[in-house]
Chains A and B, each alone.
Chain A
Amino acid sequence: DVKVTQSSRYLVKRTGEKVFLECVQDMDHENMFWYRQDPGLGLRLIYFSYDVKMKEKGDIPEGYSVSREKKERFSLILESASTNQTSMYLCASRPGTANTYEQYFGPGTRLTVT
């Protein structure tokens, strides 16, 4: 089975802190994604990556950056956390060559910024 793991299920940070969210997948997938999910707004794409060191902005990249130094790992960075970044963060991966949108999601990280 494909497994996507995220470093923390719950995280509490203070305003202005630098926050790292880590995501690891074990199926050698080329594509990886970071979403945030908020009530009433559904899932919104922050950034995605289609290869090592490659990244593209999604719909709401402001206030975030990403890093993909290894194929299996995709990190989301909040340079200076703010209260409006309190959310559920979901990582996903999928094969790059397959003609499919079958994405595999991690369990999510619920981040609270106080």
Chain B
Amino acid sequence: DAKTTQPPSMDCAEGRAANLPCNHSTISGNEYVYWYRQIHSQGPQYIIHGLKNNETNEMASLIITEDRKSSTLILPHATLRDTAVYYCIVRVISSGSARQLTFGSGTQLTVLP
């Protein structure tokens, strides 16, 4: 699996967009980019994933560069409840098998009032 690099911490003002970068320069063609977050003292929560096209859901948008070497998770209007550790994970999808995720150290996002 490709290695990912994320900044250890970021701040964002409440109501503003939070843009969380992830570098995955060694990603291969069949690897997806996944984002999870973990609010303090809770289990991780799935946010979004993508292969090469930009993706959007009710929680966030995922922008993947054309060369797929990096991506950005965007929380369009951050709230205090978005304060969490955000994990970027790159993984090949293998159907039918129980493949686990490998969580790195992530980015601690702090949303400031």
Q: Which residues of A contact B (CB under 8 A)?
A: 4, 30-31, 33, 40, 42-43, 45, 48-50, 56, 58, 90-92, 94, 96-108, 110
Q: 10 A-B pairs, CB-CB below 8 angstroms?
A: A40-B105, A42-B104, A45-B100, A48-B100, A49-B98, A58-B100, A92-B44, A102-B34, A103-B46, A108-B43
A105 to B41, CA, bound (A): 12
Q: Distance in Å from the Cβ of B74 to the closest Cβ of chain A?
A: 19
Q: Is the Cβ of A56 less than 8 Å from the Cβ of B98?
A: yes
Name the interface size band of chain B: 20 to 34
A30 to B97, CA, bound (A): 10
**Which residue, A31, A91, A97, A103, has most C-beta atoms of chain B within 10 A?**
A103
Which of B44, B95, B101, B104 lies in contact with A97, CB distance below 8 A?
B95
Nearest chain A residue, comparing its CB with the CB of B91: A101
Given A42-B104, A43-B103, A101-B101, A107-B96 contact (CB < 8 Å):
no
Give the interface SS of chain B, mostly helix, strand, loop or mixed: loop
Q: Is the Cβ of B34 less than 8 Å from the Cβ of A105?
A: no
A98 to B43, CA, bound (A): 21
Q: Which residues of B contact A (CB under 8 A)?
A: 32, 34, 41-46, 49, 89, 91, 93, 95-105
Q: Which residues of A contact B49 (CB under 8 A)?
A: 100-102
Q: Is the Cβ of B43 less than 8 Å from the Cβ of A90?
A: yes
Q: Which residues of B contact A94 (CB under 8 A)?
A: 98
Q: Is the Cβ of A102 less than 8 Å from the Cβ of B46?
A: yes
